[in-house]
Structure 1
Amino acid sequence: MDYIAHIRQKDGKIQTVQDHLREVQELSERLGSKIGVRYLAGLAGVLHDLGKFTMGFRTYIQQAVENPDEPPRKGSVDHSTAGGRLLYRRYHKNSAAVDDKLAAEWISNCVVSHHQGLRDFLDPESTPSFIERVDDKALDEYENAASEFFTHFPEHDMDEYYTKAKAELRHHLSFVQQQGLPPVAISLLIKYIFSCLIDADRTNTRRFEEDEQEEEPFDHLSFFSKSYDKLIHHLQELNQSDHADTTINRLRRAMSLQCEDFAAHPSGIYTLSIPTGGGKTLASLRYALKHAITHGKERIIYIVPYTTIIEQNADEVRNILQEHDMILEHHSNVIEEKGSEDEDYDVKKKKIKLAKDNWDRPIIFTTMVQFLNTFFAKGTRNVRRLHQMSNAVIIFDEVQSVPVKCISLFNAALNFLHLIGRSSLLLCTATQPGLDYVKHKLHLPKEPEIIQNLDEVVKNFKRVEMIDRTTAAGWKAPELAAFIQEQMDEVDSVLAILNTKSAVRKLFAELEEQEWVKESGVRLFHLSTNMCAAHRKEELVEIKKALEDEDRVICVSTQLIEAGVNISFDCVIRSLAGLDSIAQAAGRCNRHGKDPSRNVFIIKSADEVLKQLPEIRIGGEKTERLLHEFRQEPERFGHDLLSPAAMSSYFCYYYHQIGDGDEMHYHVPKLEKNLFDLLDMNKDYYHAYKNKHREAPKLLSRPSFATAEQYFEAISNAATSVLVPFNKEARELIVSLNGELGAGELGTLLQKAQQYMVNIYDHERKGLEKSSNVYYLLHGHVLALRDIAYSEKFGVEITGEGEWSFLST
């Protein structure tokens, strides 16, 4: 009898369990071998679906395919526990050897969790839940399944394979100890192995379902070599332009050459402190391509704070390299993971699970949120991509955007990627965030900075005057509008950046009603994250064109414009925030040094409510302190508010305020624990277990994966992604996602949909639901917005009263 792993929907063809296990094993091995866990990952692959060697599952899957509209009851057949049980009983239960036990624990967890996300080894209730699952749970046909498994995978071969896996485990444990890494590094190693399994399983299943042939291995060296040649050609053309000999352009060339030379250094964590406007994107790409060619890296990944930067930087790189299909933008998850898959075989949901979403391109642009989610978010969709970050060059653009609560987790992830993942990491910003002030530090080399004579470079790049106009009471929208009018009497363009969307909208509305704005032909623009990426991109193109045409322009924006957007205004007004944010805002003023100097005003908006934005509020308080000190002793900071000395003092004050307690380790008040410790020593849960049971846990592994993932949100008040009907393509996507799609086609559509997503908070979603302005697509997995609730001017309108509100009458 053939036991069934999958049945192809279109023609009823069967993929046998033994074929699926062998193919997933081979792919898992390939992914794991990149960092020396070939056999550990392969072990997970060959055992993950052992429970499908049963009549129960055979009947279950046949019924599911025959009755797609009425699939069998969720969870009625457990097929993932069996592989974990075989490992636990064969190698853990009757062995005293540490490596026997640990290898069984690690891989058992990956196997039993491959439909929901890694489980806790120690849980908050101090129950032996993991052992109960792998050893005690009633499991129909387990002995028959194990026996059938060994007919295809002989016991002697299995034992030899396990011995090789243990050797890998011992090597990594020894290496972690030698490098002085905390135990959280081992937790991330387990997650890496889990990532290999998830991607191998989903990829093999999709290939069978879609009847795809396995792709030929990608020639990374050839691609990066061609890309490098194109970049150098582009830089040579820039060097022959009319403006090539300006001071700023000479400095840009010098820093770009330093990046080229530095690429020969071995893999490591380095800093690239190019001042704002210094050509950071192309200089870092030059380093990345050269380093990838020299050291055989497989991927270049840009991690940026905002989707706005993704759009601009990815377009810039595409235009230079002319390799559109090889550059992937990952803005946000169109489909948010909701709980576990419960091992159900719902044919409709299966397509969503299999949709291609695994960063399989040589150049990736994504956000800090997605980077953190890959390591720490719940479920299987995010972690699937983790293995792609090994043997890569990873560039963190505007690294100061790391949420404070995530700093220890972020540093742990970077140390793992460098020391275990064999990747090179570039912390790229004009304002390095001083991570030396934190407890769990990055493993930086003695001299990590690429740019030489940094103080001199910063001095030569100075092209703005910082002017403090903060007041205790703050500026309300009418006062700020009047101040903007004063500046517009002197210049042709003003950018005002405020901290909240509501304050931005209030100022925009105030300016819109001003007679002088209407009469003088000023073009007024609004930017906020209520607009989808495609919408913001169009608006930025329009703003740039207006500036190039020397129109009179006022732009009112949230902070999304202040990092990585290549745009230049005559004057910038920035509401009080962290000095690093103010420095980024200043980079949008006189960006190319067209004038000897221009003004950047620091004000305090009275229309902002920062209660839910503690990092901005604390950053503003520390900047106020620095402004006071600057007034008293400007020479202490070289008479420059944006000097390295000023920035160093700011970060010192900022991190001292945050403290070195749980705040940087992701404190969870409900648990009275921090997530870093749950993935590290996990002492509290360990001692709680001992106290409750009067003995140590039978497991040697301690991480509480599921509990940590349950509480992790890269950004507090986690938002829901909604697909908006911005243009014709977006509306066509909405229609398509309401139809029947194959897993391959679905993956393509979900990728296209990213540029039309807007993140909305829970109270906003509830408001839209109350007014019936959102609805679900793709069997409840994608949230879409009705036309009536999207405004061409402001984006998502929570009240549903946008420009198209007449459609409802």
Structure 2
Amino acid sequence: MEFYSHPGKPLDLHLREVAMEMQECLQDIPGPGRDVLPLLAAVTGFTHDFGKYTTFFQRYLLEKVRDGDKHHHAFISGLWGSYLVATLLKKEETILEATLAFAPLLCFMAITRHHANLDNLERHLVRPGDLEDPELTEVQPSLRYKLQLVEEQVADLFARREDIFPSLLNAQEPFNFFSPDLLETFCSSWRGIYAQLYRLHRRFKQADGFTRRKAYFLLLALYSALIDADKREAGGVGAVPRCCLPPGAVDSFKEKKFAASSSDDINSLREEIYQKVTNTITRVSLDQHLFTLTAPTGAGKTLTSLSAALRLRERLHREKGYSARIIYALPFTNIIDQTFTVFGDVLRASLKDFAAKESNYLLKHHYLADTIYKLEGENAGEEFSLEESLLLIESWQSEIIVTTFVQLLHSLIGFQNRMLKKSNKLLGSIVIMDEVQNIPVEYWELVREVLKGLAEYFGAYIILMTATKPLLFKYGEAIELVGDEELVRQFFNRLNRVQVQVDLRPKRVVEVAAEFARQYDPSRSYLLIVNTINSSLELYQCIKQFLREQGHEPLMFYLSTNVVPLERKKRVEEINQALSSKQKPVVVSTQVVEAGVDLDFDIVWRDLSPIDSIIQAAGRCNRHSHKRGGLVRVLHLVDEEGHTLANRVYGAIHCHVVRKIFEQYSEFTEKDFFDLVEEFFRIVEEKKSKDEAAKIIAAMEDLYFSDLNNEGRITVSDFKLIEELPSYVDVFVELDERAREIWRFYQETVLKEKDLLKRRRNFLGFKRDFYERILSVPAKLALGLDSVTRPLYLSRDILEKYYEPETGFRRQLDDDPIIL
């Protein structure tokens, strides 16, 4: 008799292929338990859809006949999986380490939740005594209902066991870990098997923190590998073949690209740092997994880190026998495109087939990225369908992935099915985190422990890269790739590109604008960075007015998230072109310009902020050391009541610490950056509360992913790298005819489409174009817009009422404190 998992897909074939994909995915993962992990993966894959053997599911799938919820299959499949894991582990001759003793529990949770998000394990378990009552009267109602379904499903499976045996035997053919007596025992003893999970969980809660934390990572590995393989296999999309990457690709690129570069101070420093880092990575012990790369802004860290990762990858392949994926993470989506382009140029210079197999080698993943995956093989150069591309992109099927901190960290500290699908690609990987100082201080301890866990349990290598070296790793945990602390300080001391002047006297925006107008020199380019959208709008308008009154009409630009993303991107390109052509623009911006944007001004003014942000701002001043000394002025902006505007964005602690430090340093140069930022982070870490981070770590150790029972405790789901803004709404801004076409297409193919799969497929085709025209604004400013749709719709007919071409969404200047 034939059983099916999906329309036209034999169930035994689906189980076998998912098991084989999972086993292959976790086969070469380094670290403790690597001999047993592939077995656990194969069993999880083999058992994950066991419940589909019931008559209830087969009739539901093939005949569209529904008998209540009896076709549900995840819970009974989880029980079957836990039983098979427990049985097989008893046969293992080696003594299992502590964490693997809890593998039946982890397998149960991975399978039970493989069509949903991870939640709280305890809510799926029942005290053994309560199971002795045939009516299950003491069991919580929703769980009692599930167990009653299992009772009927088990009876059905037992009655049809002779038909099921051949299919299961065929499904496990490569593994040989199933025999008919196992199914009979399961059907006759399933309540006892289920009760054993409760007992095992009691033991788990009493285990030490190390064991429970490793269990968290093991669960992520199994769950991620399962949902990844299951979704792709069901969609007919196999794993992409692995590719070789040349370890000397960056060297080759540099020889071609920079052969004619001058040997001035900054280029000499870049080359020295490059050589130091590459030499260190080729000699360091592979038992060392944690690294930092600290160098001044503009010192070529991007290419240097890529070269280090490629060399490390080659060593791992040669000495340990596996190819590590390279994950390069950045804090903001607006700087990913630039890094992705650089990496593409590097690989294109060394790989003849890069154009045809681009996605095999290099992938970009964030919410605005195009949903395009280029095909490898006989039809190289073609593209997968949108659904196929999405499956491959979201599961990071590539050798180098350029992504965001959100995608990376929510794949490690997460509960959502869609975010955890790619977590398995982090096992044994090389992770580079650029501009790591952008991680909130209150999460440092959490991120530190997660990265250390990824390295310790699953052999990942971590490189934290920054110009400001936050104290993310503790002393002695990581090796600095540039050299010892004194050498790093010497590299900073060699640069003298900027002088920083600090003026802590409180000033209102109009006073700063007037001061700027008095000091304005048409022969210099200027960048002014403030902390809130409202202060940036007021500053822009005041400066424009004051300069016009003095007879100046400079080229002026405004940048913030008050302007639609598409227009922001265009303006950055226009500013870059103006600076390259020796024009002298005046740019007023929020922090969107600080990280990763390669702009170079003569003079920078910066509102009070943490020292690392000031150093990032200084990195836009005389960046390439081609000008006479650059000047950075730090000011203290206040509102009409005299309250510090920076407090609204960075909090009182950060601002208090930086003001205390600046009381001692009213003027300093680039050689002081290293010591100043070290002092700043040391004091801030001492003052910042670590309570929330500690509670999330505890939730990870308890496998407490989300609080569906509203118990009020902190869970893994409480980790949010970017906090959602309260009382904000998204608005689609119809700036031009192209925007009108996109909105019309959105209405016709998404909003009016009743088929959810078609709706999703249609949206993927123009997702990037759509989001590039979205703004997030306070709800009170969007009153009067079409509120029937989500997002809200700002049509060109009323555009002038709500949106100003120069500065974006119209706002009341006295209310909104939002940054960026």
**What's the TM-score, normalizing by structure 2?**
0.76
Counterpart of 1:712?
719
Name the CA distance, whole Å, in 2 between partners of 1:614 and 1:124.
41
Residues 352 and 137 of structure 1: CA distance in aligned 2, closer, same or farther (over 3 Å): farther
Counterpart of 1:33?
27
Deviations 1:709-747 (A, max 9, x none): 442321223588777666777666652663687699669
Deviations 1:591-627 (A, max 9, x none): 1112341210111222487699564543222110101
Q: How does 1:212-223 map to 2 (within 5 A)?
A: 214=238, 217-219=241-243, 221=244
Name the CA distance, whole Å, in 2 between partners of 1:612 and 1:138.
56
Displacement of 1:511:
2.9
Q: Secondary structure at the match of 1:371?
A: helix
Equivalent residues of 2:602, 2:621 under 8 A apart: yes
Code of the aligned partner of 1:622: V
Residues 705 and 519 of structure 1: CA distance in aligned 2, closer, same or farther (over 3 Å): same
Larger radius of gyration: 2
- Residue-pair matches, total: 706
From 483, 494, 498, the equivalent of 1:460 is: 494
Question: Is 1:328 paired with 2:363?
Answer: yes
Counterpart of 2:178?
158
Q: How does 1:156-555 map to 2 (within 5 A)?
A: 157-158=177-178, 181=210, 183-207=212-236, 214=238, 217-219=241-243, 221=244, 224-225=245-246, 230-241=249-260, 243-264=261-282, 265=284, 266=286, 268-296=289-317, 297-322=323-348, 323=354, 325-326=358-359, 327-332=362-367, 357-436=394-473, 444-445=477-478, 449-450=482-483, 453-471=487-505, 474-489=506-521, 491-516=523-548, 519-555=551-587
Using the aligned pairs only, state the percent identity: 23
Name the CA distance, whole Å, in 1 between partners of 2:714 and 2:295.
40
From 742, 761, 765, the equivalent of 1:749 is: 765
Displacement of 1:161:
12
Q: Secondary structure at the match of 1:679?
A: helix
Displacement of 1:132:
4.8
Q: RMSD between aligned alpha carbons? A: 4.4
Name the CA distance, whole Å, in 2 between partners of 1:652 and 1:601.
24
Counterpart of 2:74?
80
Displacement of 1:109:
0.1
Code of the aligned partner of 1:652: R
Equivalent residues of 1:268, 1:444 under 8 A apart: no
Code of the aligned partner of 2:494: N
Counterpart of 2:110?
110
Question: Is 1:649 paired with 2:679?
Answer: yes
Q: How does 1:780-799 map to 2 (within 5 A)?
A: 788=799, 792-794=805-807
Code of the aligned partner of 1:462: N
Counterpart of 1:171?
none
Name the CA distance, whole Å, in 2 between partners of 1:547 and 1:75.
65
Displacement of 1:245:
1.3
Displacement of 1:317:
2.5
Name the CA distance, whole Å, in 2 between partners of 1:561 and 1:253.
26
Code of the aligned partner of 2:526: V
Equivalent residues of 1:767, 1:798 under 8 A apart: yes
Residues 273 and 192 of structure 1: CA distance in aligned 2, closer, same or farther (over 3 Å): same
Name the CA distance, whole Å, in 1 between partners of 2:714 and 2:14.
31
Name the CA distance, whole Å, in 2 between partners of 1:216 and 1:329.
16
Code of the aligned partner of 1:200: A
Equivalent residues of 2:327, 2:402 under 8 A apart: yes
Name the CA distance, whole Å, in 1 between partners of 2:268 and 2:88.
69
Equivalent residues of 1:521, 1:552 under 8 A apart: no
Displacement of 1:134:
11
Q: Secondary structure at the match of 1:119?
A: coil
Name the CA distance, whole Å, in 2 between partners of 1:150 and 1:262.
57
Code of the aligned partner of 2:78: G
Long gaps (5+) in structure 2:
91-95, 128-138, 184-207, 318-322, 349-353, 371-385, 813-820
Equivalent residues of 2:43, 2:85 under 8 A apart: no
Residues 729 and 456 of structure 1: CA distance in aligned 2, closer, same or farther (over 3 Å): farther
Residues 132 and 520 of structure 1: CA distance in aligned 2, closer, same or farther (over 3 Å): same
Counterpart of 1:165?
none
Name the CA distance, whole Å, in 1 between partners of 2:141 and 2:106.
12
Residues 88 and 389 of structure 1: CA distance in aligned 2, closer, same or farther (over 3 Å): closer
Name the CA distance, whole Å, in 1 between partners of 2:241 and 2:614.
45
Q: Secondary structure at the match of 2:561?
A: coil
Deviations 1:60-107 (A, max 9, x none): 23466x9xxxxx799673211111122445666999997786121000
Residues 610 and 483 of structure 1: CA distance in aligned 2, closer, same or farther (over 3 Å): closer
Q: Which moved more, 1:567-576 or 1:94-103?
A: 94-103
Equivalent residues of 1:269, 1:448 under 8 A apart: no
Residues 797 and 330 of structure 1: CA distance in aligned 2, closer, same or farther (over 3 Å): farther
Q: Which one scores higher on RCO, CA 8 angstroms, separation ≥ 6? A: 1
Deviations 1:332-364 (A, max 9, x none): 3799xxxxxxxxxxxxx9999968522222222
Name the CA distance, whole Å, in 1 between partners of 2:241 and 2:112.
30
Q: Secondary structure at the match of 1:33?
A: coil
Code of the aligned partner of 1:282: L
Name the CA distance, whole Å, in 2 between partners of 1:259 and 1:74.
62
Counterpart of 1:176?
none
Counterpart of 1:46?
46
Residues 774 and 39 of structure 1: CA distance in aligned 2, closer, same or farther (over 3 Å): farther
Name the CA distance, whole Å, in 1 between partners of 2:638 and 2:476.
42
Deviations 1:622-664 (A, max 9, x none): 1101011335xx8xxx9768432222211111111104x4044
**What's the TM-score, normalizing by structure 1?**
0.77
Displacement of 1:191:
1.1
Q: How does 1:656-675 map to 2 (within 5 A)?
A: 656-659=686-689, 661-665=690-694, 674-675=695-696
Name the CA distance, whole Å, in 2 between partners of 1:446 and 1:577.
29
Equivalent residues of 2:730, 2:775 under 8 A apart: yes
Code of the aligned partner of 1:760: S
Name the CA distance, whole Å, in 2 between partners of 1:621 and 1:21.
59
Deviations 1:421-465 (A, max 9, x none): 3222111001110135xxxx5982466654771111101122111
Equivalent residues of 1:84, 1:107 under 8 A apart: yes
Name the CA distance, whole Å, in 1 between partners of 2:126 and 2:444.
28
Equivalent residues of 2:335, 2:596 under 8 A apart: yes
Counterpart of 1:141?
153
Q: Secondary structure at the match of 1:78?
A: coil
Q: Which moved more, 1:188-197 or 1:475-484?
A: 475-484
